[in-house]
Structure 1
Amino acid sequence: MSYGYEPKVWKEKARQHWQEFQPTRFNELSASNQLEDALDYAVEQTWAEMQSLMNGGFQAHEAWEMVRENYLFVREEDGLYDDEELPVNVMHEYNQWLHDESIRQNEEWLKQFEQDAEVESRVASDNSKNKRPNIAWLTVLRWIIMLPIAVVIAYLASRLAILVTGFGLASEGYSNFSFWTRFYLVTSEHVVLGMAFVFTAVGIAPSHKHIVGISTSVFTLLLTGFLIYPMLRLSDYWALWGAFCLVTSIIVSTINVYRRYR
């Protein structure tokens, strides 16, 4: 917002001032048809220096008072008046006009600033009200889909780990029924399963991510604990090894999440 930028007013006031207090310059510029260009230049330079000062932290009325006499309202030319002939009444009127003009522009700038601030505040408030329901629904939706999506992603990731590991072992000449083939397949499957489950749940959660990581870890550990007894009864040692890999992966992933989001 260009507070106080009144080029037409400035130009006419400068024209009157130059004619009164810079008659030699005024007549020379008029005779050479350069008066209008000179006045326009004075207006542009005044506004440019005001902007520079305002960008540096000065208020608009302060910048105006500092710059106005550099180009627009320059001092009277040398030798224009003797000390006895100095038109005190004219200078008094001129100084009074500068003072009144400064007060007027300051009031206008302040009024305009307050109006703009009120409009911006109202717009921001309306936007905030409009966005709150959408944000609330999105947050609720993310909490709802967090666990189902985490389970699906973890399952797909574990299947992919089996495929990649199996392909790598087959390319190295390992038998599908060898001990090491089974070892690598079970290990990669359960390690990836645990990592994918924790990190997916944490990534979807809209907030409290470290708590989500701990919660998913506790949930998985409890579920695994319930399954250990049947594994022992069936002497399924590969399942026990897979459970160990899963628990280890879950714990390591949860520690990483906690360190990052706490």
Structure 2
Amino acid sequence: MTLSWVDGQPAAGLPIHDRALAYGDGLFETIKVVRGRPELFDRHLQRLTLGCERLAIPCDIDLLSSQLRAFSAELGGGVAKLIVSRGEGKRGYAPPIPCQPRTVMTGSPLPHYPKAHAEQGVRLFPCTTRLAEQPILAGLKHLNRLEQVLARAEWQDPVFADGLMRDTSGRVIEGVFSNLFIVESNLLVTPSLERSGVAGVMRAEVLEQARHAGVPTRIGDLSLEQLYHADEVFLCNSLYGIWPVRQLDARVWPVGALTRKLQRLVADLSSDT
């Protein structure tokens, strides 16, 4: 079913002077809802809280949490998208003081992903669009997604399930709508997101599950050459869990044992929700 609320009430539109429309002045979360309950909810709220603090947007997280739980219960199942904007303002970049933040919640069916993506792995498109290095915004799921829009426009062939994104210095960062991990000699590695990229909630969950399972992990810079020499590669996202990466350019990887193990751990979490 489709559903939309603004500030906790059913609504079908947004005032045209909202700063989310004019400047992308806000944050968002994309949340999987199963049987009326939001998955990885605490992680989503933690990231949103950090984002609001970083952007100096006052937000009543307890009220928002209550509204989102009610929204998820009404939605039943699918995807809940939450937007927190700075609210309305006059023309110009200067934020209104004080500001009146606005929340927008929209619900939609869960996307259909082929089972082969999780079972056999996916192929990555090598995007030429680069991520700007901006530490103030790094890690946040802010509303300025034009880099991802441009990157996703680079391919139309459905043979590619996602695209690989690097920053302006050439470091491997993430997928267009996912986080990326590699395995090298049984060490689980994911790129640092101190300069750019989105700190995904599933990325955080994968790291925690790996540590609980005794798998050594490292967060750090990742070069394209290092990626090519990896033993295993996979993507993760809060909606689909984990997809092994089968191919990038001419490089082909097997679906490895650690990728399979982490897939099972993530699937077990989802089944317990």
TM-score (norm 2): 0.24
- Which has the larger Rg? 1
TM-score (norm 1): 0.25
Q: Identify the structure with bigger relative contact order (alpha carbons < 8 Å, sequence gap 6+).
A: 2
Q: By percentage of residues, which structure has more strand?
A: 2
Q: By percentage of residues, which structure has more helix?
A: 1
